[in-house]
Amino acid sequence: MTGPPTPATSRFEHVPLAVFASSAEASQSVAREIAALIRDRQKAKRTAVLGLATGSTPLALYAELVRIHREEVLSFSNVVTFNLDEYYPIAPSSPRSYRHYMQAHLFDHVDIPPTSINLPDGTAPSASLDAHCRDYEERIQAAGGIDFQVLGIGRTGHIGFNEPGSPRRSRTRLVTLDSLTRRDAAGDFGGEEHTPKYAITIGVRTILEARRIVLLAWGQHKAEIVRAAAEGPVTPQVTASFLQEHDQTQFVIDRAAAGALTRYRTPWLLGALGDLGLEWDAAMVRRAIIWLSQLRKKAVLKLTDDDYNEAGLQDLLRTQGSAYEVNLAGFYQLQHTITGWPGGRDPRRTKPGDAPVRPLRALSAGVFPKRVLVLSPHPDDDVIGMGGTLCRLAEHGHEVHVAYQVSGANAVSDEALARALRFVGDSGLAGPANVERLCALCDAHESTGSLPETPEVHNWKGLVRRQEAIAAARVCGVPSGRLHFLDMPFYHARPGSRRQLGDRDRSVMRELLGAIRPHLIFAAGDLDDPHGTHRLCLHALRDALARHSGEPWVRESELWLYRGAWSEWSADEIDLAVPLSPQEVLRRRRAIFCHETQKDIALFLGDDRREFWQRSEDRSRRLAETYNALGLAEYEAIEAFKRYAPEEFLRDLPL
Ligand code: F6R
C-alpha cells in the first residue's frame, strides 16, 4: 500500500482510502478480509451476508475467493449473497446477465447453497415489478442486513445502478440506465441498440445500511470520478459521494485510479513536500510549473514570484530560488521534449549547427537507420495514436515494423461484414461451392439483421480489419512485408468471461521481439480502452521484455508509450513531442479513413461521439495549443510520447 500520511490528505479526502500498487494486490487484501469475516461467522455459527457487484472490477476478487475456497479450504456454506443489480429485461441464461456472470465467476466454483443466492429477477413481469423490489428489500432485512458490501464505481459515479440524480433515500427499484453507462456496456451487447435501457438496482439507502462497505476502482479511466466521490461534495449527481456519510466505508483503489487525488496530482497543496516524504525533483518541478502556468493563464517565462506565492508554491520558490530560475528550468525541460526527428537524425544529412535531437537517449542516438517496432493493440491504434510520427519514421528511412496485437474482429458489425460478403458473392470470385453458403449467410442477415456467431464469421471480421490496416500502413509508407498480425488468442475469450494472457499470447510477443530486436519500440500506453485490451497488450510486452532482459539489444533499446483514442498524456508526462505539419495531419486522416468499419457506427466509441479521426485531430491540435500557451512555438498539431527505459518499464509495471 502506498500514500503519504493521512492527516495532510484528510483535508481533501472525505473517505478513508487504501491505495495499492496493483489491482491484484488490492483484490487479494479485500478477499482476505471477506474470508476472515466468513470464518468468524462460522465459528459463531452465524451467516455472513455479502452484498456483491458485477462488472470488470471485482473479477480478480472473485478469482481470489475461489482460490482461497480451494486451496485454503474456505467454505461458503454459511454465506448469503445479495447482488446489487440486474439488467431488465434479461433472461438469467443470457451470457450477458449478471446472474450468468455471478455463476461463472463465483457461485459455480464454491459451495454456496443455491438457496442462499439472491439477485434481482430480470424476468419479473412488469406488472409485479414493484412487489418484486419490495420483496428483495424484505429478504435483505430477513437475512439480518448486509455485513459486507462490495461496490464498483461507474464513470457516471454510480454505485449499483444508482445513476446521477438518485436520491439518498432510494430503495430497490427499476431505473433507466444513463446513456454513458449504456455506451460503456455496448461492446458486451454488440452495439448500443442491443443494450438494455433499464436495470433493477438496490437503492442508495439500502447500500448505506450495510455494516461495512468497500468500493473498488482500478485504472486511470476511473481516476476523475474517484476524486469526485472522495474529495468532492456529497451530491446525488455522484451517488458514490454518499459513501462519505458512512463511517465504515473504505475506497480500495490502485495507483492509476488514485492519480487525480490531490495527494498525487498537486501534492504541494497539502504542505511542504519534505514533510510528505516527497521532493522537488525535475519531474515535480515541471508538473508544478505547468499547473501554475495553466492556473494563472500565463506563459511559463512570465510567471512571477507573486504567482508562485499566491498559488501555494512558496515551498518551491524557497528550495529553488527565484521565479526567474524556476521558470527557466521548467521551460527548458519542456522545450527539450520537442523534436521532428523521432528516430534521430541521419548523420549523413546532419549539418553543423543543426539542433540536437534531445529526447533520444545517448545509447541509440548514433544508430541510423534504426529498427523500429510499433505495437498497435487493435488494427487502427497505430494511425490514431501516432499516425504522423509513423509517417515521419518511414520517411526518414528507418526500418519500421508494425505489429497488430489482436485481430479487432469484435468491433466489426455484422452489417459491415455482410456488405463484404455480398461483394464476394456478386463479384463471381467465390467458387460454386461457396456461393450457396455466402447467399445463405447474406439472406440470414437480410431477414434477421445479424450473422451467426460462428468462429468462421469471427475470423472473416478479423480479415476485414487486416485489409484496412494494410491499406492504412501503405498510406503511412510502411510496406505490407513489415506488418505483423499477431492475432493474440486472449482477445477471443467468450463474452462475459475474464480475459487473461495465456502462454501463446506471451510467446508470440517474445518471438516477435527476438526476431526484430528493435532499437525503438512504440507501444500503446493508453490504459483507458473500455475492454482492457490495451492493458493486456502492454502486459504482454512487459512479459516479453522481461524474458529478453539479459540481452544487449534490450538495454540499448528505448520504449515510447503513445496514447490511443481515449485520452492524451498530460503536458507534464510528455517526454517526446513530435510536431506535425498541416499536410501530415491530412495524411494521418487519410490513413485513419482506411479503417472504414470503425467509422460512424463503431461499436466501441465509448462516451465520445466523435469519430476516431476527429478525436485524433482534436487531441493533437489541443496539445499544440497547450504547448503554445505554455510559451513554446506554435505548431499545427503535436503527437506525444512518454519514455521508458525497458528496465524502468519493468519496474513500474511489475509482473
Ligand atoms: C455492477 C454495478 C456497477 C459497476 C460499475 C463499474 O453490479 O453495480 O455499479 O460496479 O458500473 O463497472 P466496471 O467494474 O465494469 O467498471
Q: How many residues does the chain have?
A: 655
How far is the centre of ligand 1, averaged over its atoms, from the C-alpha of 388 (Å)? 36
Inter-residue contact 525 to 642 (CB < 8 Å): yes
Is residue 429 in a domain? no
Please tell me whether residues 373 and 512 are part of one structural domain.
Answer: yes
Inter-residue contact 344 to 357 (CB < 8 Å): yes
Say whether 163 is catalytic.
yes
Ligand 1 atom with minimal separation from the 57 CA: 14
Please tell me whether residues 190 and 278 are part of one structural domain.
Answer: no
Say what the pLDDT of residue 604 is. Answer: 47
Say what the pLDDT of residue 535 is. Answer: 82
Is residue 542 in a domain? yes
| CATH number of residue 477's parent domain | 3.40.50.10320
Reading the block at residue 544, the C-alpha cell is 516479453
Choice among 163, 209, 584, 639 that is catalytic: 163
Please tell me whether residues 327 and 384 are part of one structural domain.
Answer: no
Is residue 355 in a domain? no
Express each pLDDT in 144-192 by its tens digit.
999 999 999 998 899 999 999 999 999 999 999 988 888 777 767 766 7
Please tell me whether residues 286 and 323 are part of one structural domain.
Answer: yes
Domain limits for position 394: 368-412+452-652
- Could you write out the DSSP letters of every residue in 417-435? HHHHHHHHHHHT-S-HHHH
Which residue owns the Cα nearest ligand 1 atom 11? 154
Say what the pLDDT of residue 603 is. Answer: 45
Burial 254-276 (b: 16+ CB within 10 A, else e): bbbbbbbbbbbbbbbebeebeeb
- Could you write out the DSSP letters of every residue in 12-49? T--S-EEEESSHHHHHHHHHHHHHHHHHHHHHTT--EE
Please tell me whether residues 250 and 373 are part of one structural domain.
Answer: no
Is residue 347 in a domain? no
Ligand 1 atom with minimal separation from the 222 CA: 16
Pocket mutation for ligand 1, best pick of 59, 146, 161, 239 (most atoms within 8 Å of C-beta): 161
Residue 131 neighbours by CB distance under 10 Å: 11
Is residue 435 in a domain? no
Say what the pLDDT of residue 220 is. Answer: 81
Please tell me whether residues 175 and 121 are part of one structural domain.
Answer: yes
Q: Which of 335, 359, 387 is the last residue of a domain?
A: 335
In the chain, how many domains are there? 3
Please tell me whether residues 256 and 391 are part of one structural domain.
Answer: no
Which residue owns the Cα nearest ligand 1 atom 10? 152
Express each pLDDT in 228-279 by its tens digit.
999 999 999 999 999 999 999 999 999 889 999 999 999 999 989 998 889 9
Say what the pLDDT of residue 497 is. Answer: 61
Inter-residue contact 592 to 612 (CB < 8 Å): yes
Please tell me whether residues 200 and 229 are part of one structural domain.
Answer: yes
| List of the chain residues with pLDDT < 70 | 1-8, 10, 187, 190-191, 352-365, 495-498, 527-531, 565-566, 600-609, 651-655
Say what the pLDDT of residue 530 is. Answer: 54
Ligand 1 atom with minimal separation from the 152 CA: 10
Is residue 622 in a domain? yes
Say what the pLDDT of residue 359 is. Answer: 65
Is residue 425 in a domain? no
CA atoms within 13 A on the CB side of 358: 13
Ligand 1 atom with minimal separation from the 159 CA: 9
| CATH number of residue 58's parent domain | 3.40.50.1360
How far is the centre of ligand 1, averaged over its atoms, from the C-alpha of 654 (Å)? 26
Is residue 56 in a domain? yes
Measured CA to CA, the distance from residue 601 to residue 595 in angstroms comes to 12
How far is the centre of ligand 1, averaged over its atoms, from the C-alpha of 431 (Å)? 48
Question: Which residues, judged by CB distance below 6 Å to any ligand atom, belong to the binding site of ligand 1?
Answer: 53-57, 84-85, 152-154, 158-161
Which residue owns the Cα nearest ligand 1 atom 9? 160
Please tell me whether residues 278 and 142 are part of one structural domain.
Answer: no
Please tell me whether residues 237 and 286 are part of one structural domain.
Answer: no
How far is the centre of ligand 1, averaged over its atoms, from the C-alpha of 3 (Å)? 25
Please tell me whether residues 255 and 300 are part of one structural domain.
Answer: no
Alpha helices in 549-611 (DSSP H): 552-556, 582-593
How far is the centre of ligand 1, averaged over its atoms, from the C-alpha of 390 (Å)? 37
Please tell me whether residues 202 and 271 are part of one structural domain.
Answer: no
